[in-house]
């Protein structure tokens, strides 16, 4: 991809803007679904191409927003990204959802099938379906299960794309400036959790970030805010302790 192509971070932000006013079937912010699809893609296909990773964020942009393929091209997206997103946009002439899935499977478009399987992995998640009325959840579970079976069988036939562009490993260096007491707290907490300090910090921070993305900032209690609310109390307590006795 060219140097002026949007980064994955820019694509995530762009997708968030496109779907900002939308919610999923359970009434949760739609951006949470897109974030999870991106993670499912990495989990299911560790060799996912960069085009597939961008398409995971944008897979509903042509179907559920006013965005067009021309709009994506104007923003600098590679034709490979746009082709995947277009293939994942259900056309109006298909008689049923399963008919569209079978058409996608027959196309042999491996990248589109991989992103769609990541999408279905989130759509069919029992935890998400449990938030819906039982009859609706049961119907969707059957639909998504059948679709996943169809696409998985097609990938077995066409191959899973191992010969395509390898996924680049992106490591971001992070430096923490913390007190010795805070570091000891991390050491003890990580030991209790059976993880290294590094893994503990990264995993717990990512979990909190996922919660903010999925549930919204107002539904997550941050320790920083708790400390800010308690600051006046602690300050009053400190002053009380420092006041000399009569």
pLDDT for 86-120, tens place per residue?
Answer: 999 999 889 999 999 999 999 999 999 999 999 99
Q: Are residues 103 and 209 in the same domain?
A: no
Q: Are residues 192 and 227 in the same domain?
A: yes
CA-based nearest residue to 18, from 77, 59, 78: 59
* pLDDT at residue number 26: 81
Q: Are residues 21 and 127 in the same domain?
A: yes
Residues of the chain with pLDDT under 50: 162-169
Q: How many domains does the chain have?
A: 2
Q: Let me know if residue 166 belongs to a domain.
A: no
Q: Are residues 100 and 132 in the same domain?
A: yes
Q: Are residues 25 and 136 in the same domain?
A: yes
**Residue 207 structural domain:** 180-242
* Proportion of the chain in helix, strand, coil states, percent, rounded to 5: 65, 0, 35
The reported pTM is: 0.65
Q: What is the CATH number of the domain that holds 101?
A: 1.10.3210.10
Q: Are residues 129 and 185 in the same domain?
A: no
Q: Are residues 91 and 134 in the same domain?
A: yes
Decide which of 158, 193, 227 is a domain's last residue.
Answer: 158
Q: Are residues 199 and 115 in the same domain?
A: no
Q: Are residues 83 and 35 in the same domain?
A: yes
Q: Distance between CA atoms of 68 and 226, rounded to whole angstroms?
A: 44
């Amino acid at each position: 991809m060219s140097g002026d192509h949007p980064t994955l971070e820019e694509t995530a932000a762009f997708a968030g803007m496109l779907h900002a006013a939308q919610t999923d079937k359970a009434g949760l912010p739609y951006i949470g679904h897109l974030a999870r699809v991106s993670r499912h893609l990495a989990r299911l296909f560790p060799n996912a191409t960069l085009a597939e990773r961008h398409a995971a964020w944008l897979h509903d942009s042509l179907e559920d927003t006013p965005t067009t393929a021309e709009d994506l091209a104007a923003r600098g997206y590679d034709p490979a990204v746009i082709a995947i997103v277009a293939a994942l946009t259900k056309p109006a002439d298909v008689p049923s959802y399963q008919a569209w899935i079978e058409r996608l499977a027959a196309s042999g478009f491996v990248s589109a099938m991989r992103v769609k399987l990541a999408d279905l992995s989130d759509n069919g998640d029992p935890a998400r379906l449990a938030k819906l009325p039982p009859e609706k959840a049961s119907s969707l579970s059957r639909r998504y299960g059948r679709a996943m079976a169809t696409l998985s069988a097609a990938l077995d036939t066409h191959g899973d794309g191992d010969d395509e562009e390898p996924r680049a490993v992106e490591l971001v260096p992070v430096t923490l400036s913390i007190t010795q007491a805070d570091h000891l707290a991390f050491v003890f907490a990580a030991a209790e959790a059976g993880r290294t300090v590094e893994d503990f910090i990264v995993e717990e921070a990512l979990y909190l970030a996922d919660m903010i993305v999925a549930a919204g900032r107002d539904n997550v209690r941050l320790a920083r805010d708790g400390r800010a609310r308690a600051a006046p109390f602690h300050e009053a307590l400190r002053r009380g302790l420092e006041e000399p006795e009569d």
